[in-house]
Amino acid sequence: MENVSPVLDYIQRYISLNEDEQQFLSSFLQIKKIRKKQHLVQPGFVCTHKSYVVKGALRAYLVDREGKEHTLAFAIEDWWVSDYSSLIYQQPATLFVEALEDCSLIQISYASEQELFDKIPQLEKFERIITQRSLAFQHKRLLENFTHTAEERYDEFLRKYPEIVRRVPQYALASYLGFSTEYLSKIRNRKAGKS
C-alpha cells in the first residue's frame, strides 16, 4: 500500500487513534493521482469520495445558466475537497472539482466512511470538528461578502492565503472573490503603484 501517513497525521491533530485503528482506517484509503485540468467531480454524476490533498491545487466551481463559472472553493496541500452535497446525499453533483496542478490525493469513499464511523467512533468526533470548522469558515466568508468591499476581500485573502494567490489562475481567484478578472487586475495594478 502506498503511503497514507499524511492523512493519518492530519487526523491525529484532532483525535488520537491507536495503531490498530490507524491500520484499519488505512485499509479504506486510496491514493489517486490526477493531472492538471482533469476533473475529479462533474455535475450529473454522484460524488462517491472526498479527497485529502497531499500535493497540488484544485478548485470547486459551478457553471450558471449563462455559462459563467463561479469558484466556490480552493484546496491545496493539507485540505479536503469534494462536492459535499452530492457526497452526503448521494445525489448527482452540481459542482466541478478541477485540478489546477498535477495532484496526489488520498481518498475515502462515502460508504467506507460510514462503516468506519461504526467501527472507530473517534472518527465521528473528527468529522464533527472538521464540519464545524468548515461551517464557521463558510459563515465568515458569507458575512465578508456582504460587509467588505471587493478590495478588502482581496486584501484579506492575500493576507491569509498568499500561496493560493500565487498558484491559482487569476480568473479563478477573481471568481472566488466575486468580481471580474479585469477588476482584480485593477486592484493589483493599484497596489503595485503604491509600493
Q: Which three cell numbers stand for residue 99?
A: 485540478
Element (H, E) at 129: helix 122-147
Q: Which three cell numbers stand for residue 179?
A: 468580481
Q: What is the 3-state composition of the chain as percent helix, strand, coil, each rounded to the nearest 5?
A: 50, 20, 30
Taking the whole predicted model, whether its pTM rises above 0.85 is answered as yes
Q: Which three cell numbers stand for residue 167?
A: 498558484
Q: Which three cell numbers stand for residue 86?
A: 452530492
Superfamily of domain 5-120: Jelly Rolls (2.60.120.10)
CA dist 116 and 99 (Å) reads 28
Q: pLDDT tens for the chain, 195 residues: list them.
A: 469 999 999 999 999 999 999 999 999 999 999 999 999 999 999 999 999 999 999 999 999 999 999 999 999 999 999 999 999 999 999 999 999 999 999 999 999 999 999 999 999 999 999 999 999 999 999 999 899 999 999 999 999 999 999 999 999 999 999 999 999 999 888 877 776
Element (H, E) at 75: strand 69-75
Q: Which residues of 137-157 are buried (b: 16+ CB within 10 A; e: fewer)?
A: eeeeeeeeeeeeebbebbeeb
| Domain locations in the chain as residue ranges | 5-120
